[in-house]
Amino acid sequence: MMLNIAIVGFGNAVVNYHLPYLEKKENIKVKTIFRREEDRVGDTEREAYYPEITFSTNFDDVLHDAEIELIVVATHVDSHIHYAKLALEHGKHVLVEKPFANTSTEAKELFDLAAQKNLIAMANQNRRYDGDFLTLKKVIGSGKLGNIVEIQSHYDYFHPHYPAKDFGLLHGLAVHTIDQLISLYGPADSVYYDVRSLVAPGQSDDYIDIDFRYGRMKATIKCSMMVKIEHPKFVVHGDRGSFAKMSSGHQAKNGQGRTTVDIQPEEESNWGTLSYIDDEGNAHTEKVPSEATDYGLLYDALLGAIRGENDKPVQDEEVLYVLDVLSKGIEEAKR
């Protein structure tokens, strides 16, 4: 049975991270995209790239379309709850872009409403399907590293003139890597924050270094606007070996017209490196083939949840925990 969906918003996330993957799905159809009239001013040419999709400036058209089962909210975070509530109240499932809500209190209210309506409300944590993260999971699952003692996760850029009065890095970038960690290990035993600004102290969050402790294992989420040299996306150490992987990046092909993606494994030159000792005490160093990045996998899992075939891939408790971590990080940055 075809799943008809509507998307609220038509920005970078929709064009580059949703539509290119959804167009490959035979059982999912983007029927409508809702845009506010003011957002269309001077920006209507791109709509012609998607002749199979209806563009509307009337959200009621979406809410009262009986064919639409799922509404994807991909607007600024300040309007996430507004659109998601309307969708749920009109009997639609909702997928909400990260960071889902401003606070865990707002998020819980939305999850409670979804439960009352017997509907699904879920955060779009598509970075769980990044090729580099899927490769990391594969290596950890192989057991070749033994007991994991340390994980370093990086999401860095070099923008030394990052806005001095902008607390957006945690919610915009670090939310991805924090969610990846929580999807692997769940809530930490303890969390230690070093979140601050290297540009304007107390006015931004351009430097993030958060330690999550799980027993004797420490996982560090790092995100900075002042990293010029290329650094591994993941570095993992265990009591039998180590693993390092550079970023896989996003496989989008931008140009004139609609964005497309090529869901293929990476070239061998960007595979991860695994060095370990086996059960017989022999040393090995090998390249680990990369998994392919495919954000469409999240939609496959969500469709299964809507049809009652599996649990939704991003659980409410995970979203609430990540939002609390983000809030505490902002408090730390303002000191």
Q: Could you list the pLDDT tens digit for every one of the 335 residues in the chain?
A: 899 999 999 999 999 999 999 999 999 999 999 999 998 988 899 999 999 999 999 999 999 999 999 999 999 989 999 999 999 999 999 999 999 999 999 999 999 999 999 999 999 999 999 999 999 999 999 999 999 999 999 999 999 888 777 888 999 999 999 999 999 999 999 999 999 998 888 889 999 999 999 999 999 999 999 999 999 999 999 999 999 999 997 777 766 789 999 898 899 999 999 999 999 999 999 999 999 999 999 999 999 999 999 999 999 999 999 999 999 999 999 98
- Residue 300 placed within a domain: no
Residue 27, classed as helix, strand or coil, is: coil
Q: Tell me, yes or no, whether 88 and 170 share the same domain.
A: no
Q: Which residues does residue 253 pair with via DSSP β-bridges, in sequence order?
A: 260
CB half-sphere exposure, 330, CA atoms < 13 A:
16
Q: Tell me, yes or no, whether 159 and 289 share the same domain.
A: yes
Q: Tell me, yes or no, whether 141 and 271 share the same domain.
A: yes
* Closest C-alpha among 165, 176, 163, 49 to residue 123: 176
Angle at 106 between CA 78 and CA 220, to 5 degrees: 85
Q: What is the pLDDT of residue 262?
A: 86
The reported pTM is 0.95
Q: Tell me, yes or no, whether 92 and 177 share the same domain.
A: no
- Residue 319 placed within a domain: no
Q: What is the pLDDT of residue 166?
A: 81
Q: What is the pLDDT of residue 257?
A: 87
Domain of 74, in residue numbers: 3-123
Number of domains the chain is built from: 2
- Residue 70 placed within a domain: yes
Give me the phi and psi of 217, to 5 degrees please.
-90, 140
Q: Tell me, yes or no, whether 144 and 283 share the same domain.
A: yes
Among the candidates 123, 142, 174, a domain finishes at: 123
Q: What is the pLDDT of residue 53?
A: 98
Q: What is the pLDDT of residue 252?
A: 73
Q: Tell me, yes or no, whether 169 and 36 share the same domain.
A: no
Q: Tell me, yes or no, whether 182 and 219 share the same domain.
A: yes
- Residue 53 placed within a domain: yes
* Both structure tokens of 245: 């992987």
Task: Compute CA 10 distance to the chain's CA centroid, rounded to the nearest angstrom.
Answer: 18
Q: What is the pLDDT of residue 201?
A: 87
* Both structure tokens of 216: 């004797």
Residues counted in the chain = 335
- Residue 307 placed within a domain: no
Q: Tell me, yes or no, whether 269 and 143 share the same domain.
A: yes
Among the candidates 92, 123, 154, a domain finishes at: 123
Task: Please give the full DSSP string across 92-135, using - where no structure is assigned.
Answer: -EEEEETT-SSSHHHHHHHHHHHHHHT--EEEE-GGGG-HHHHH
- Contact (Cβ atoms closer than 8 angstroms) between residue 123 and residue 213: no
CATH of the domain at 22: 3.40.50.720
Q: Tell me, yes or no, whether 58 and 182 share the same domain.
A: no
Non-local (6+) Cβ contacts of 109 within 8 A are 81
- Contact (Cβ atoms closer than 8 angstroms) between residue 122 and residue 73: no
- Residue 31 placed within a domain: yes
Q: What is the dihedral of CA 260, 4, 313, 180, to 10 degrees?
A: 30
- Residue 193 placed within a domain: yes
Give me the phi and psi of 54, to 5 degrees please.
-85, 130
Q: Tell me, yes or no, whether 55 and 144 share the same domain.
A: no
* Closest C-alpha among 212, 217, 215 to residue 236: 217
- Contact (Cβ atoms closer than 8 angstroms) between residue 271 and residue 236: no
CATH of the domain at 201: 3.30.360.10
Among the candidates 123, 156, 191, a domain finishes at: 123
